[in-house]
Amino acid sequence: MAVGNTTGTLLRFTLFGESHGVAIGGIIDGFPAGFEVNTAFIDEMLAQRSSTTARYETRRKESDEVEFLSGIVNGRTIGSPVAFLIRNKNNRGSDYESLKDVFRPGHADWVYYQKYGIHPQPGGGRASGRETAARVVAGALAIDFLKGQGIEIGSFVSEIAGIHAQVDSTTISVQEVLQSDLYCPDSDASRKMNAFLEKLADENDSAGGVVSTFVRGLPAGLGEPVFAKISSLLAAAALSIPAARGVDFGDGLTASTLLGSEFNDVMHSVNGKTVFATNHSGGIQAGISNGNTLLMRTFFRPPSSIAKVQQTVDLKGNQVQIEVKGRHDVCFVPRAAVVVSSMVALVIMDLFLQKKSYDLGGK
């Protein structure tokens, strides 16, 4: 029973595949018929997730060629499930032969063994970040669909290892983000981040960081009380990404230090239209979008695979030392930005379709 591999209500996405298996892929059910699939846009988003030549990114380079198996005819969706796969062409399970009988600190090896009773899988198997490529394909379709509804989604790196970027999430454009190698539109912060990651690469260590996401043009009314609030669904989607450790919205956790008179987003009527003087809530009230720009942050831990000597145990319970070799990221936060956007888009599109169903009901 593997109920955790599917997400969504009207728009359902099922993910499959392992890091060093034959392929990864997904099935999208509920995607509206007649949508023209922009394969070039999908490729662009996959390229954002792919590693670069930077020393602090993995040397594993996959072509990430998408094969659509169903649900698309003559370049358009036909309403049936859209199934696709991406073949793993640069998988090297042999890199993990020396680790097959030990549990790597920070990885899924130990808990997967406790859950399934199987030996550690090469590269983390199902728990590897490799599976996020399939999320990006599904997310690209959702982002492109939402563009047609006037909704824009973008993410950028706002922090790495305590180095903070100064970026206005309400005005920054996706194109400005893409001009930065680290997807950090603050050039000074990006330079400092890059220098620090180069240093970490020399020290065989790793770092985490924060991805900030904005959603503009979102209509008011998206979100379902009480267990399917837009905030709870977005948090669950973001936290399902490998290595994600936390999510907040608007002013985030600092809201706990504010007074009600400071936090409340005061409303005004301008030419008969309700507008908000501030956006401390990040575009969400009572778990429902209020029409303001939706602002959220996703926090990522450092990559667990580091080439430093670490203490662990083997399958027999013996204390051993290991050094995790292979092709690993010093920091995967820049590559994770497009994955966050993808998961946000899938949630937003699902809720958008749900709201449309209410509208059809005569609201």
Report the 10 Å Cβ neighbour count for 173.
13
Q: Is the dihedral of CA 244, 166, 50, 346 positive or negative?
A: positive
The per-residue pLDDT for 1 is 46
- φ/ψ (deg, to 5) at 316: -95, 0
The residue whose two tokens read 């793993």 is 88
Is the peptide bond between 347 and the residue preceding it cis, with omega within 30 degrees of 0?
no
pTM of the model: 0.93
- Give bridge partners of residue 210 from the DSSP assignment: 159, 299
Distance CA 134, CA 130 (A): 8
pLDDT tens over the chain, length 363 residues: 457 999 999 999 999 998 888 999 999 999 999 999 999 999 999 999 987 656 666 655 667 899 999 999 999 999 999 999 999 986 655 556 667 788 888 888 889 889 888 876 666 778 888 999 999 999 999 999 999 999 999 999 999 999 999 999 989 999 999 999 999 999 999 999 999 999 998 898 999 999 999 999 999 999 999 999 999 999 999 999 999 999 999 999 999 999 999 999 999 999 999 999 999 999 999 999 999 999 999 999 999 888 888 999 998 899 998 877 766 789 999 999 999 999 999 999 999 999 998 876 654
Q: Tell me the residue type at 228.
A: A
The string of pLDDT tens digits covering residues 126-163 is 888 899 999 999 999 999 999 999 999 999 999 999 99
pLDDT for residue 116: 87
Residue 10 one-letter amino acid: L
Contact criterion met (CB below 8 Å) for 348 and 145:
no
Rounded to an integer, what distance in angstroms lies between the CA atom of residue 303 and that of residue 213? 21
Tell me the domains of the chain and their CATH numbers. Answer: 3-360 (3.60.150.10)
**CA-CA distance, 101 to 119, in Å (whole number)?**
7
- The Cα-based distances of 184 to 90, 136, 159, 169 in angstroms read 28, 19, 8, 12
| Distance of alpha carbon 180 from alpha carbon 48, whole angstroms | 11
* Residue 60: per-residue pLDDT: 57
How many whole angstroms separate alpha carbon 154 and alpha carbon 340?
9
CB atoms within 10 A of CB 204: 13
- d(Cα 163, Cα 212) in Å, to the nearest integer? 14
Question: Could you tell me which residues are beta bridge partners of residue 7?
Answer: 13
Say how many CA atoms lie within 13 Å of 297 toward its Cβ: 20
CB atoms within 10 A of CB 6: 14
Distance between CA atoms of 292 and 281, rounded to whole angstroms?
Answer: 9
3-class state of residue 170 by DSSP: coil
Query: Which residue has tokens 């990651």?
Result: 197
Q: State the Cα–Cα distance between residues 345 and 139, nearest whole angstrom.
A: 6
Instruction: From residue 289, give the alpha-carbon distance in Å to each of 98, 217, 224, 348.
Output: 50, 11, 10, 10
Residues sharing a CB contact under 8 Å with residue 126, sequence separation 6 or more, in sequence order: 17, 18, 19, 108, 112
Contact 304, 277 (CB under 8 A): no
Q: Which of 121, 26, 58 is nearest to 113 (CA)?
A: 121
